[in-house]
A and B are shown apart, each in its own frame.
Chain A
Amino acid sequence: MAKFFLFLWDHKQSLIFLLLLLLSLAALSLSGTQRFHLARQINRTIITPFQMAVSQVDYVLRLKKENEGLRKNNFILTLELFHLEEAKKQNQRLERLLDFARRAPIHFIACRVISGGLGEKPEVFIIDKGSLHGLRPNLPVLVPEGLVGKTIEIDPERTVVQLYNHQDFRVSAKPSKGEERGIAGSGPGGELYLFNIPLRTLLKEGELIVSSGMGGIFPKGIPIGTVASVEKDEEMGIKLRARLIPAVDLDKVQEVFVLADSAFVSPTAGELYEATDTLLNLWNEP
C-alpha cells in the first residue's frame, strides 16, 4: 500500500495531468444539454462578473461621452435658439418695414444699419447703401415709427446718417393737429426739444409733433415725437419750448428707409405739397 502511495507521489505530475485530461474528455462526452448547463454555469460563475464590471465601465464611459455630446448639442441648440429669436425679431421688424413700404406709393430705399445705434447715444448711423444705390446728401431717413435723421456724407456703398439727436440736426416741426411751427432738434442734456414755439400755442402732453414740410428736406407729416413737457424758453424769452419723447427709439433701429423720391426731396418747399398729402395718408393709415 505504501509503495502504491509512493508511486502516486512520484508520478503526481503525470497523475494530475491525466486526471485533468480525463475530466476534459469526460466533459467532451457529456450530452448536449449537460454540456450546455455546465458551460453556462462556468460562464456565469467566472466570466459574467468580469463582463458585467467591464460593461459597467464601458457604460459609464459611453455615458460620459454621450453627456459631452449632449452638452455640445445643447450649446449648439441654445445658440440656434438665440439665432432663431433674433431672426424672429428681425422678421417682425422687416414685416413692418415691408408693410410700410407697400403702403407708401413713393420711392424708399431700404438700408441696414451697419454701425452705431447700439452704443451710448450715437449721433450718427452708417448704413449699407451709398451713391451707387441712388443716395445723396440731405435725404430723409425714416422708420415706420417716424423720423430717424438725414443723410449727410455719401460714399459709393456707405452713407452717414445724421440722427435727430445730433447737435446740428434741425427739422421744422409742428403739432400734428395745429399749424404753429417750431424747430425740433437736440436740446439740453441731448434730449429732443421743439423750440421756438409761439407763446400763444396750446400744447398738450402727449401731443404728436410731426415735420411741418418746411425746410426743403423733410416732407410734412413725419412723426418726430410726443410732447412730454412744455416750458418757457429762457433764451428766446417770448417763446416756448417743449421737451419731446422721440417717436423712434434709436437703440432699436437696425433697418431704415431712405426717402429717395425726388418729388419729396426737392430743395424748393413749393414742391413738397405732394409729399405732405402722401405721407400724412401714409402715417394715418391703420
Chain B
Amino acid sequence: MSSFRFFIFLLILFFAHLLLYQYLSVGRIFPDLFLVAVVYCALRLGPTGGSVSGFICGMVQDSFSYTYFGLHSAVKTAVGFAVGKARHSFFSNNYLVQMAIIFAAKIIHDIIFYAFYFSGGEESFWSRIFLETLPSAVYTSVLGVALFIILRIKTATKSL
C-alpha cells in the first residue's frame, strides 16, 4: 500500500472513530479504531511512528475525558512503541497475524488503562476486562483488518 493510501486509511480510521463511534457499536461493545490506526502506524513506521500516532490519538481521546486526561495518550504511546519494536518478530503481512496483533494490543491497552483507571477496585477491573475488553478486542481486530483489506482491495497496491 502506498504512503498516500496508507495515510487515507489512517484518516478513515481516525474520522470513523471520531464521528461514527456511536453507529459502529454493537450493543455496549465499541471498536477502538484509534488503536487500529496506532497498530498499523507502528507496523509500518516502527516505534517512533507508533509512539507519535499513539500520543496524538490518545490525546484526542483524552480531550473527551477530563478526569484521566493523559491516560489514553500514555497507554497508546506505550502500545504503539511496543508494537513498533516487535514488528520484525512476526510476519505482519498476514491478515490473521494483523488481527492477532490488534487483539493483543487492545487487551494490553485496556489492562494498563483500567489498572490506572480503577486502581484498586479489582472487581470492576476484571468484569470490565472480561465483559467489555475481550469482545471489544475481537470486534476491533476484525473491523480494523476488514477496513484494511477493503481499502487494499480497492486500491490494489503494494503490501504493507
Contacts and interface: CB of A to CB of B under 8 A. Distances in A.
A204 interface: no
A26 B18 CA distance: 25
A280 to B, nearest CB: 81
A31 to B, nearest CB: 11
Interface in B71-89: 71, 73-74, 77-78, 81, 84-85
Interface stretch (B56-64, B100-108, B131-139, B143-151): B56-64
Judged by DSSP, the binding face of A is: helix
Contacts of A20: 51-52, 54-55, 73, 77
A46 interface: yes
Contacts of B60: 42, 46-47
Given A20-B77, A39-B63, A54-B19, A13 B70 contact: no
Contact of B70 (A12, A25, A32): A25
Given A17-B51, A39-B63, A43-B63, A24 B46 contact: no
Contacts of B65: 39
Contact of B66 (A13, A26, A32, A46): A32
A26 B77 contact: no
A8 B47 CA distance: 15
A75 interface: no
A21 B78 contact: yes
Given A27-B70, A28-B70, A17 B63 contact: no
A39 B19 contact: no
A225 B52 CA distance: 99
Contacts of B70: 23-30, 35
Contacts of B73: 20, 23-24, 27
Contact of A28 (B46, B47, B74): B74
B92 interface: no
A51 B64 CA distance: 13
Interface string A32-60: 10011011101100110011001000000
Given A16-B48, A16-B52, A25 B74 contact: yes
Given A20-B51, A26-B70, A28-B68, 12 more contacts: A12-B48, A17-B51, A21-B74, A21-B77, A27-B69, A29-B70, A35-B66, A35-B70, A36-B66, A39-B63, A42-B63, A50-B18
12 contacts: A13-B47, A14-B47, A17-B78, A20-B52, A20-B55, A21-B77, A23-B70, A24-B59, A24-B74, A25-B70, A27-B70, A46-B63
